[in-house]
Structure 1
Amino acid sequence: MGNFSKDEELVDQYARQNDKEHAVKLLFDLIVRYARKKNFVKAEALREKLFELDPMSLTEIIKSAEIIEEEKSGSIDHDHLDIWSALYDSLTTEEAHTLYLALKNGVYDTDDPIFRQGELSPYLYFINHGQLKMFYSKEGREILLETLGPGDIAGEDTFFSISVCTRSLITLSRVKLSFLEKNIFVKWQKEFPTLSAKLNDYCLMLSKPVDLFNDEGMDRRSHKRLRISGKLMFQILNPSGNPIGKAYKGNISDISVGGLSFDIKTTKKNALLLLARGLNVKFILPKNKSRIQIERNGMIIGVTNSYLNGNYTIHMKFYKMLNEIEEGGEEWLKTKI
Structure 2
Amino acid sequence: MSNTNTYGDQLIETLLNAANELHDETGVPMPVIADAMYLGCGIPHSIFGAAEPETASRPEQHETDVPPIRTLGLIGAGTMSQGIARAAIHAGIDVCIAARDPKRATAASDAVLRDVSGATAHVASSPHLETLASADIIVEAISEDLAGKQRVLSEVERAVPEAIVLATTTSSLAIDDIASALADPRRLVGMHFFNPADRNRLVELVAGPAPQSHQRRARQLATQLNKHLVEVPDTPGFIVNRVLIPYLNAVFDFVDRGAPLREIDLDIRRRYRLPVGPARLAGIIGSDVVLAIQTSLHQRLERPDLRPARALQALVDRGVLGNKSGHMFPAALNDGA
Higher RCO (CA 8 Å, separation ≥ 6 residues): 2
- Structure with higher helix content: 2
- Structure with higher strand content: 1
User: Of the two, which has the highest radius of gyration?
Assistant: 1
